[in-house]
């Protein structure tokens, strides 16, 4: 029931925020903040140990019995980690929008909360129809956020974001339906229940096609090369809060889908596909790092680095052993914080000087020392400095992947070097060197205020915690991962024996 409550709070909070605009233009943000904070507090009740399968909370009710569809929500350690990330970044996003969104604030916070509600649904739905339902529900408000409060080329970016995700989503829907039909053929009844579908045999060429339907949808969301081209556009045009949600949370739904659904539901097809997926991951890491280096738009640059970092997640997932998966999850969490922080810095800069063009910036250190310090911290975190969360994630992912596919892992490791190159390059370009303000009006270029410092500090604490004491996170996801690994173990052993 708690899971339904969490989602309901956000849905209702969104409506209340929208209508509270009539009372006062500052009410919506307050309502939104209260709703998300309440959610975060409620989530602490999920921290206990779960049952034998690792599930800490479940909820089930009939929905469309004709097709075997139910409201089936369940959360294990993996879900809880991502739920908390969602609520945490939700608060940060509200903070980012606090001063930036002045027009139609009610409708903005409505969309923000509904996106978050959709994401919570995605992380907890264990009925595949319900999962797809939430998968699409989080799209529309996100589309509206980009289309209404975005920057100069928002129409194009919003449209591209929507069409990419929707079309691949439809392929996933067909895959889900085929899978349910498999269940009907093999077990005699229709079911969209995750646990039922895990028992469906999906070996054979049909299984491969169906798996690709899922993979395509998740890889687009992740995103992985070659389905990433929507991301730089969406990010550069979205308002800061939108970017925070996109980079911090929405991308993680793709990775979550791969871990929870694609590999466990299609173990044979995924094992066969793993080398290709890992190759795509390595290409994403290297290619997007290289492309990021060529950007002059600071938001596009960060967007490309996101694609690059998410490559480590794909790499870890398709290595499919405990270390690699732990690495993937740590990278998801750490990247959620670091990318969100970097987008907020970029958004903050744009808000102050009305440009994202790095060739016009330089020497900001003297003008905005606090902002520089924050930027250095998060850039260093993003490039994988030991002691911070991203290092743990990428390190574990690489160790795990090394056991599965040496070539791709070695290639991917070069991404770490490229990451230092572009991260430091941004720092040099924007904050170091000679200060000049010939191309923009710097009258609003002020240093971070107390509100901004607060949420950057929160994110710093998070990253340091992840870097210094990762065990607290690993412990939470371990039972869930063990469960996933045992469910696919039979197939792995069979494949191995076949190879021998």
Binding site for other proteins (CB under 8 A): 62-67, 104, 129, 132-133, 136-137, 139-140, 143-144, 147-148, 155, 158-159, 162-163, 166-167, 170-171, 173-174, 177-178, 181
SS3 percent helix, strand, coil of the chain, rounded to 5, is 75, 5, 20
CB of 8 to other proteins, least distance (A): 13
Residue placing its CB nearer to other proteins in the complex, 160 or 235: 160
For residue 273, the minimal CB distance to other proteins (Å) is: 20
Give the residue with the Cβ less far from other proteins, 214 or 343: 214
* Residue 34 CB coordination number (10 Å): 15
- Beta carbons within 8 Å of 8's beta carbon, 6+ residues apart: none
- Name the helix (H) or strand (E) containing 329: helix 322-353
Please state, in angstroms and rounded to a whole number, the distance separating the CA atoms of residues 231 and 221: 9
CB of 163 to other proteins, least distance (A): 5
What angle is formed at CA 307 by the lines to CA 118 and CA 230, rounded to 5 degrees? 65
Name beta bridge partners: 62.
Answer: 70
CB atoms within 10 A of CB 49: 10
Q: Compute the half-sphere exposure of residue 273: CA atoms within 13 Å on the CB side of its CA.
A: 27
Closest CB to other proteins among residues 34, 170: 170
The secondary structure of residue 44, as a DSSP letter, is G
Phi, psi of 193 (to 5 degrees): -70, 130
Cβ 19 to other proteins, closest distance in Å?
11
**Is 266 strand, coil or helix?**
coil
Q: To which residue do tokens 């991962």 refer?
A: 481
Shortest Å, Cβ 223 to other proteins: 17
Query: Judged by CB, which is closer to other proteins: 136, or 196?
Result: 136
CB nearer to other proteins: give 250 or 459: 250
Nearer to other proteins among residue 37 and residue 166 (C-beta): 166
Burial code (b: 16+ CB inside 10 Å, e: under 16) for 412-430 equals bbebbebbbebbeebbebb
Question: Tokens 């994110």 — which residue?
Answer: 459
Tokens linked to 495: 């494949």
Q: How far is the CB of 265 from other proteins (least distance, A)?
A: 16
Reduce the DSSP state of residue 142 to 3 states and report it: helix
- For the bound state, the minimum distance from the C-beta of residue 144 to other proteins, rounded and expressed in Å, comes to 7
Handedness of CA 377, 382, 383, 388 (dihedral sign): positive
| Residue at token pair 């339902």 | 133
Nearer to other proteins, 133 or 435 (CB): 133
> Strand runs (DSSP E) across 305-460, as ranges?
none
Query: Judged by CB, which is closer to other proteins: 238, or 324?
Result: 238
Q: Contact, 345 vs 371, CB < 8 A?
A: yes
Give CA–CA dist 71/67, Å, rounded.
Answer: 12
**Nearest residue to 422 via CA among 310, 332, 287, 313:** 287
Report the Cα 194 to chain-centroid distance in Å.
22
The nearer residue to other proteins, 140 or 376, going by C-beta atoms, is 140
In the complex, the smallest distance separating the C-beta of residue 429 from other proteins, rounded to whole angstroms, is 35
Smallest gap from Cβ 168 to other proteins, in A, equals 9
Which C-beta is closer to other proteins: that of 29 or that of 154?
154
The neighbouring-strand residues paired with 59 are 73
Cβ 61 to other proteins shortest distance, Å: 11
Min separation Cβ 269 and other proteins, Å: 17
Residue 480 CA: distances (Å) to CA of 13, 81, 329 = 31, 11, 12
If the CB atoms of residues 170 and 494 are measured against other proteins, the closer one turns out to be: 170
């Amino acid at each position: 029931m708690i899971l339904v409550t969490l989602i309901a709070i956000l849905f209702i909070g969104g409506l209340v925020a929208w209508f509270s605009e009539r009372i006062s233009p500052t009410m919506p943000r307050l309502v939104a903040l209260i709703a998300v904070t309440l959610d975060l507090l409620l989530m602490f009740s999920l921290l206990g140990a779960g049952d034998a399968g690792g599930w800490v909370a479940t909820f089930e009710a009939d929905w469309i019995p004709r097709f075997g569809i139910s409201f089936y929500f369940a959360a294990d350690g993996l879900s809880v980690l991502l739920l908390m990330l969602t609520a945490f970044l939700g608060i940060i996003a509200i903070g980012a929008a606090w001063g930036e969104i002045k027009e139609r604030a009610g409708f903005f916070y409505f969309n923000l909360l509904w996106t978050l509600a959709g994401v919570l649904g995605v992380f907890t739905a264990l009925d595949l129809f319900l999962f797809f339902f939430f998968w699409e529900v989080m799209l529309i408000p996100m589309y509206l956020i980009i289309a209404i409060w975005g920057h100069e080329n928002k129409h194009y970016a919003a449209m591209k974001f929507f069409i990419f995700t929707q079309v691949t989503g439809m392929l996933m829907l067909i895959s889900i339906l085929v899978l349910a039909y498999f269940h009907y053929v093999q077990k005699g009844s229709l079911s969209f229940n995750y646990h039922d579908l895990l028992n469906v045999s999906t070996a054979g060429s049909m299984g491969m096609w169906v798996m690709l339907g899922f993979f395509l949808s998740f890889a687009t969301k992740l995103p992985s090369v070659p389905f990433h081209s929507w991301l730089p556009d969406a990010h550069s045009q979205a308002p800061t809060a939108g970017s925070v949600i996109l980079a911090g949370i929405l991308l993680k739904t793709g990775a979550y889908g791969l871990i929870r659904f694609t590999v466990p539901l299609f173990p044979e097809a995924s094992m066969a596909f793993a080398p290709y997926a890992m190759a795509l991951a390595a290409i994403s890491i290297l290619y997007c790092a290289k492309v990021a280096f060529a950007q002059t738009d600071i938001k596009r640059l960060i967007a490309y680095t996101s694609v690059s970092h998410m490559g480590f997640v794909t790499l870890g997932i398709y290595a499919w052993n405990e270390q690699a998966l732990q690495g993937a999850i740590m990278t998801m969490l750490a990247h959620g914080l670091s990318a969100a922080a970097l987008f907020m810095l970029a958004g903050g800069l744009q808000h102050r000087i009305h440009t994202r063009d790095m060739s016009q910036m330089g020497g900001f250190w003297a003008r905005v020392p606090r902002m520089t310090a924050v930027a250095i911290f998060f850039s260093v975190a993003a490039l994988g400095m030991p002691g911070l969360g991203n290092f743990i994630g990428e390190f574990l992912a690489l160790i795990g992947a090394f056991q599965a596919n040496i070539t791709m892992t070695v290639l991917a490791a070069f991404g770490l070097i490229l990451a230092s190159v572009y991260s430091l390059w941004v720092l040099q370009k924007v904050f170091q060197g000679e200060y000049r303000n010939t191309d923009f009006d710097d009258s609003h270029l002020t240093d971070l205020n107390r509100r901004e410092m607060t949420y950057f500090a929160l994110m710093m604490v998070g990253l340091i915690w992840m870097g210094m004491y990762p065990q607290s996170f690993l412990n939470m996801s371990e039972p869930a991962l063990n469960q996933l690994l045992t469910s696919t173990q039979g197939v792995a052993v069979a494949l191995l024996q076949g190879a021998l």
